[in-house]
Amino acid sequence: MKFALELCDLTRHFEISQGLWKEKRQFTAVNGVNLRIEPGEVLGLVGESGCGKSTLSKMILGLLAPSEGNVLIHDKEMDLSNRMALARVIQPVFQDPYSSLNPRKRVKDIIRLPLVLHKIGSKSEQKRQVVDISRRVGLPDRLLEQFPGQLSGGQRQRVAIARALILRPSILICDEPTSALDVSVQAQILNLLMELKQEFGLTYLFISHNLAVVEYLSDRVAVMHQGNIVEQGSREQIFEHPAHPYTQTLLASILTPDPDLSLPDPESLVWSKAG
Protein backbone atom coordinates (compact mmCIF):
# COMPACT_ATOMS: atom_id res chain seq x y z
CA MET A 1 0.00 0.00 0.00
CA LYS A 2 1.18 3.51 -0.80
CA PHE A 3 1.31 5.84 2.18
CA ALA A 4 1.01 9.62 2.07
CA LEU A 5 3.36 10.00 5.03
CA GLU A 6 5.56 7.43 6.73
CA LEU A 7 7.86 8.03 9.70
CA CYS A 8 10.59 5.43 10.13
CA ASP A 9 12.34 5.25 13.53
CA LEU A 10 12.28 9.03 13.79
CA THR A 11 14.39 10.13 16.76
CA ARG A 12 15.60 13.42 18.19
CA HIS A 13 18.15 13.88 20.96
CA PHE A 14 19.04 17.14 22.69
CA GLU A 15 22.11 17.95 24.73
CA ILE A 16 21.16 19.61 28.02
CA SER A 17 23.62 21.57 30.13
CA GLN A 18 23.83 20.54 33.79
CA GLY A 19 26.11 23.32 34.93
CA LEU A 20 29.44 24.93 34.16
CA TRP A 21 31.69 22.05 35.25
CA LYS A 22 29.39 19.13 34.46
CA GLU A 23 29.07 17.12 31.26
CA LYS A 24 25.98 17.70 29.16
CA ARG A 25 23.16 15.23 29.53
CA GLN A 26 21.39 13.71 26.54
CA PHE A 27 17.61 14.07 26.48
CA THR A 28 15.54 12.08 23.99
CA ALA A 29 12.49 14.12 22.99
CA VAL A 30 11.32 11.71 20.27
CA ASN A 31 12.29 8.06 20.53
CA GLY A 32 12.12 5.88 17.39
CA VAL A 33 8.64 6.88 16.23
CA ASN A 34 7.04 4.82 13.47
CA LEU A 35 3.81 6.10 11.93
CA ARG A 36 2.00 5.57 8.64
CA ILE A 37 -0.78 7.76 7.26
CA GLU A 38 -2.80 6.72 4.23
CA PRO A 39 -3.79 9.24 1.52
CA GLY A 40 -6.89 11.18 2.54
CA GLU A 41 -6.67 10.02 6.15
CA VAL A 42 -6.70 12.12 9.33
CA LEU A 43 -4.33 10.79 11.96
CA GLY A 44 -4.78 12.41 15.36
CA LEU A 45 -1.66 12.60 17.54
CA VAL A 46 -2.42 13.11 21.23
CA GLY A 47 -0.45 13.36 24.44
CA GLU A 48 0.27 15.74 27.29
CA SER A 49 2.32 18.90 26.82
CA GLY A 50 6.02 18.13 26.53
CA CYS A 51 5.56 14.58 25.25
CA GLY A 52 7.33 15.33 21.95
CA LYS A 53 4.42 16.08 19.58
CA SER A 54 5.69 19.47 18.40
CA THR A 55 9.28 18.24 18.10
CA LEU A 56 7.99 15.45 15.86
CA SER A 57 6.09 17.92 13.67
CA LYS A 58 9.15 20.16 13.33
CA MET A 59 11.21 17.24 12.07
CA ILE A 60 8.56 16.31 9.50
CA LEU A 61 8.51 19.91 8.26
CA GLY A 62 12.29 20.12 8.02
CA LEU A 63 12.49 22.76 10.78
CA LEU A 64 14.51 20.42 12.98
CA ALA A 65 16.97 17.78 11.82
CA PRO A 66 16.31 14.26 13.17
CA SER A 67 19.08 12.53 15.09
CA GLU A 68 18.06 9.23 13.50
CA GLY A 69 15.42 7.88 11.14
CA ASN A 70 13.78 9.29 8.03
CA VAL A 71 10.55 10.61 6.57
CA LEU A 72 8.88 9.15 3.47
CA ILE A 73 6.27 11.09 1.53
CA HIS A 74 4.32 9.09 -1.04
CA ASP A 75 6.87 6.27 -0.57
CA LYS A 76 9.83 8.51 -1.40
CA GLU A 77 12.46 9.39 1.20
CA MET A 78 12.58 13.16 1.59
CA ASP A 79 15.67 15.29 2.01
CA LEU A 80 14.50 17.22 5.06
CA SER A 81 17.17 19.86 4.50
CA ASN A 82 15.59 20.76 1.12
CA ARG A 83 12.90 23.03 2.54
CA MET A 84 11.75 24.29 -0.87
CA ALA A 85 11.00 20.80 -2.21
CA LEU A 86 9.39 19.79 1.07
CA ALA A 87 7.11 22.83 1.05
CA ARG A 88 5.56 21.77 -2.25
CA VAL A 89 4.06 18.63 -0.71
CA ILE A 90 3.67 19.34 2.99
CA GLN A 91 2.63 22.49 4.84
CA PRO A 92 1.96 23.49 8.46
CA VAL A 93 -0.95 25.18 10.18
CA PHE A 94 0.32 26.36 13.56
CA GLN A 95 -1.37 27.04 16.90
CA ASP A 96 -1.06 30.82 17.03
CA PRO A 97 -1.96 32.42 13.70
CA TYR A 98 -0.85 35.89 14.83
CA SER A 99 2.74 34.87 15.60
CA SER A 100 3.03 32.98 12.30
CA LEU A 101 1.93 35.95 10.16
CA ASN A 102 4.11 38.97 9.36
CA PRO A 103 2.28 41.91 11.02
CA ARG A 104 3.81 44.40 8.55
CA LYS A 105 2.49 42.72 5.42
CA ARG A 106 -1.00 42.85 3.98
CA VAL A 107 -3.02 39.65 3.88
CA LYS A 108 -2.79 39.38 0.09
CA ASP A 109 1.02 39.53 0.24
CA ILE A 110 1.22 36.97 3.05
CA ILE A 111 -0.84 34.46 1.08
CA ARG A 112 1.01 35.20 -2.16
CA LEU A 113 4.54 34.88 -0.72
CA PRO A 114 4.93 31.09 -1.29
CA LEU A 115 4.13 31.58 -5.00
CA VAL A 116 6.76 34.32 -5.20
CA LEU A 117 9.41 32.22 -3.44
CA HIS A 118 8.74 29.23 -5.69
CA LYS A 119 8.46 31.43 -8.80
CA ILE A 120 5.06 30.04 -9.73
CA GLY A 121 3.03 32.02 -12.28
CA SER A 122 3.10 35.63 -13.36
CA LYS A 123 2.13 38.45 -11.01
CA SER A 124 -1.42 38.56 -12.40
CA GLU A 125 -1.76 34.77 -12.12
CA GLN A 126 -0.52 34.91 -8.53
CA LYS A 127 -3.09 37.57 -7.66
CA ARG A 128 -5.83 35.43 -9.19
CA GLN A 129 -4.74 32.40 -7.17
CA VAL A 130 -4.67 34.46 -3.97
CA VAL A 131 -8.25 35.62 -4.51
CA ASP A 132 -9.37 32.07 -5.36
CA ILE A 133 -7.85 30.37 -2.32
CA SER A 134 -8.98 33.20 -0.04
CA ARG A 135 -12.58 32.72 -1.10
CA ARG A 136 -12.29 28.97 -0.61
CA VAL A 137 -11.26 29.45 3.02
CA GLY A 138 -14.00 32.00 3.64
CA LEU A 139 -12.04 35.26 3.51
CA PRO A 140 -13.93 38.18 1.88
CA ASP A 141 -11.99 40.04 -0.83
CA ARG A 142 -11.99 43.25 1.24
CA LEU A 143 -9.84 41.61 3.94
CA LEU A 144 -6.98 41.02 1.50
CA GLU A 145 -5.95 44.67 1.89
CA GLN A 146 -5.90 44.45 5.69
CA PHE A 147 -2.99 43.70 8.06
CA PRO A 148 -3.10 40.70 10.46
CA GLY A 149 -3.60 42.99 13.46
CA GLN A 150 -6.89 44.19 11.94
CA LEU A 151 -8.35 40.68 11.77
CA SER A 152 -10.07 38.45 14.32
CA GLY A 153 -8.40 35.25 15.52
CA GLY A 154 -10.56 33.11 13.26
CA GLN A 155 -9.82 35.30 10.24
CA ARG A 156 -6.09 35.13 10.93
CA GLN A 157 -6.25 31.33 11.05
CA ARG A 158 -8.07 31.34 7.71
CA VAL A 159 -5.19 33.42 6.32
CA ALA A 160 -2.71 30.85 7.65
CA ILE A 161 -4.71 28.02 6.05
CA ALA A 162 -4.91 29.89 2.72
CA ARG A 163 -1.14 30.44 2.77
CA ALA A 164 -0.60 26.74 3.52
CA LEU A 165 -2.82 25.67 0.60
CA ILE A 166 -1.64 28.16 -2.05
CA LEU A 167 1.06 25.71 -3.25
CA ARG A 168 -1.51 22.89 -3.40
CA PRO A 169 0.30 20.51 -1.01
CA SER A 170 -1.08 17.03 -0.38
CA ILE A 171 -0.37 16.93 3.37
CA LEU A 172 -1.09 19.39 6.19
CA ILE A 173 0.53 19.21 9.62
CA CYS A 174 -2.02 20.84 11.92
CA ASP A 175 -0.29 21.56 15.24
CA GLU A 176 -2.96 22.66 17.74
CA PRO A 177 -4.61 24.81 15.03
CA THR A 178 -7.65 25.79 17.10
CA SER A 179 -6.42 25.92 20.70
CA ALA A 180 -5.87 29.72 20.61
CA LEU A 181 -9.41 30.40 19.36
CA ASP A 182 -12.79 30.88 21.03
CA VAL A 183 -14.93 27.74 21.24
CA SER A 184 -17.45 28.82 18.58
CA VAL A 185 -14.65 29.86 16.20
CA GLN A 186 -12.87 26.54 16.85
CA ALA A 187 -15.88 24.69 15.49
CA GLN A 188 -15.94 26.86 12.37
CA ILE A 189 -12.25 26.25 11.66
CA LEU A 190 -12.60 22.50 12.25
CA ASN A 191 -15.53 22.33 9.85
CA LEU A 192 -13.54 24.36 7.33
CA LEU A 193 -10.58 21.96 7.59
CA MET A 194 -12.85 19.00 6.92
CA GLU A 195 -14.45 20.72 3.92
CA LEU A 196 -11.02 21.55 2.48
CA LYS A 197 -9.86 17.98 3.07
CA GLN A 198 -12.67 16.71 0.86
CA GLU A 199 -12.24 19.44 -1.75
CA PHE A 200 -8.47 19.09 -2.17
CA GLY A 201 -8.03 15.43 -1.23
CA LEU A 202 -5.76 16.34 1.69
CA THR A 203 -4.07 14.14 4.28
CA TYR A 204 -3.83 15.49 7.84
CA LEU A 205 -1.56 14.86 10.78
CA PHE A 206 -3.65 16.57 13.45
CA ILE A 207 -1.72 17.25 16.65
CA SER A 208 -3.68 18.20 19.75
CA HIS A 209 -4.09 17.66 23.46
CA ASN A 210 -7.83 18.24 23.05
CA LEU A 211 -9.21 14.71 22.92
CA ALA A 212 -12.74 15.83 22.01
CA VAL A 213 -11.43 17.57 18.88
CA VAL A 214 -9.29 14.57 17.95
CA GLU A 215 -12.24 12.20 18.36
CA TYR A 216 -14.40 14.44 16.18
CA LEU A 217 -11.87 14.75 13.33
CA SER A 218 -9.67 11.68 13.21
CA ASP A 219 -9.89 8.38 11.37
CA ARG A 220 -7.06 6.91 13.44
CA VAL A 221 -5.33 8.04 16.62
CA ALA A 222 -1.76 7.68 17.91
CA VAL A 223 -0.98 8.28 21.58
CA MET A 224 2.42 9.77 22.48
CA HIS A 225 4.03 9.59 25.90
CA GLN A 226 7.57 10.68 26.81
CA GLY A 227 8.69 10.63 23.18
CA ASN A 228 7.21 7.21 22.38
CA ILE A 229 4.09 6.13 20.51
CA VAL A 230 2.55 3.88 23.15
CA GLU A 231 -0.65 3.00 21.29
CA GLN A 232 -2.28 3.58 17.92
CA GLY A 233 -5.45 2.36 16.28
CA SER A 234 -8.79 3.40 14.87
CA ARG A 235 -10.71 6.18 16.58
CA GLU A 236 -13.15 3.62 17.98
CA GLN A 237 -10.38 1.38 19.31
CA ILE A 238 -8.60 4.19 21.12
CA PHE A 239 -11.62 5.96 22.59
CA GLU A 240 -13.79 2.93 23.36
CA HIS A 241 -11.24 0.19 24.12
CA PRO A 242 -7.91 1.77 25.11
CA ALA A 243 -5.29 -0.87 25.83
CA HIS A 244 -2.30 1.04 27.21
CA PRO A 245 -2.45 2.29 30.83
CA TYR A 246 -1.34 5.78 29.77
CA THR A 247 -4.13 6.00 27.18
CA GLN A 248 -6.62 4.89 29.81
CA THR A 249 -5.33 7.56 32.19
CA LEU A 250 -5.47 10.21 29.46
CA LEU A 251 -9.08 9.39 28.62
CA ALA A 252 -10.06 9.20 32.29
CA SER A 253 -8.76 12.76 32.78
CA ILE A 254 -11.41 14.22 30.46
CA LEU A 255 -13.94 16.22 32.45
CA THR A 256 -17.43 14.72 32.24
CA PRO A 257 -19.94 17.33 31.01
CA ASP A 258 -22.57 18.49 33.47
CA PRO A 259 -25.88 17.08 32.18
CA ASP A 260 -27.66 20.22 33.41
CA LEU A 261 -25.59 22.42 31.08
CA SER A 262 -26.69 22.79 27.47
CA LEU A 263 -23.58 23.15 25.32
CA PRO A 264 -23.55 23.50 21.52
CA ASP A 265 -22.56 20.46 19.47
CA PRO A 266 -19.65 21.40 17.13
CA GLU A 267 -21.34 19.47 14.31
CA SER A 268 -24.45 21.61 14.65
CA LEU A 269 -22.63 24.93 14.39
CA VAL A 270 -23.15 26.59 11.03
CA TRP A 271 -19.92 27.41 9.24
CA SER A 272 -19.69 31.16 8.84
CA LYS A 273 -17.37 33.06 6.53
CA ALA A 274 -17.37 35.97 8.94
CA GLY A 275 -15.76 34.12 11.86
The 3 state secondary structure assigned to the chain is CCCCEEEEEEEEEEEECCCCCCCCEEEEEEEEEEEEECCCCEEEEECCCCCCHHHHHHHHCCCCCCCEEEEEECCEECCCCCHHHHHCCEEEECCCCCCCCCCCCCHHHHHHHHHHHCCCCCHHHHHHHHHHHHHHCCCCHHHHHCCHHHCCHHHHHHHHHHHHHCCCCCEEEEECCCCCCCHHHHHHHHHHHHHHHHHHCCEEEEECCCHHHHHHHCCEEEEEECCEEEEEEEHHHHHHCCCCHHHHHHHHCCCCCCCCCCCCCHHHCCCCCCC
180/162 same-domain check: no
Classify residue 207: in a domain, yes or no: yes
Classify residue 260: in a domain, yes or no: no
> pLDDT tens digit string along 156-184?
999 999 999 999 999 999 999 888 788 88
70 is in which domain, residue-wise? 1-9+26-89+169-231+243-254
119/158 same-domain check: yes
173/43 same-domain check: yes
Domain end among 129, 151, 168: 168
Torsional sign, CA 191, 192, 197, 203: negative
Distance (Å, rounded) from C-alpha 84 to C-alpha 186?
Answer: 30
CATH code for the domain of 203: 3.40.50.300
Question: How many domains does the chain contain in total?
Answer: 2
Classify residue 202: in a domain, yes or no: yes
pLDDT at 95: 83
Classify residue 21: in a domain, yes or no: no
Classify residue 237: in a domain, yes or no: no
Q: How does pLDDT run along the chain (275 residues), one tens digit per residue?
A: 789 999 999 999 999 887 778 888 899 999 999 999 999 999 999 999 889 999 999 999 999 999 999 999 999 998 888 889 999 999 999 887 778 899 999 999 999 999 999 999 999 999 999 999 999 999 999 999 999 999 999 999 999 999 999 999 999 999 998 887 888 899 999 999 999 999 999 999 999 988 989 998 999 999 999 999 999 999 999 999 999 999 999 998 874 444 443 444 544 434 333 34
pLDDT at 273: 38
Domain end among 168, 201, 218: 168
103/162 same-domain check: yes
104/210 same-domain check: no
Domain end among 140, 168, 196: 168
138/177 same-domain check: no
76/152 same-domain check: no
122/153 same-domain check: yes
163/57 same-domain check: no
pLDDT at 264: 44
Classify residue 15: in a domain, yes or no: no
pLDDT at 16: 87
Classify residue 263: in a domain, yes or no: no
The pTM (predicted TM-score) of the whole model is 0.87
Classify residue 19: in a domain, yes or no: no
79/215 same-domain check: yes
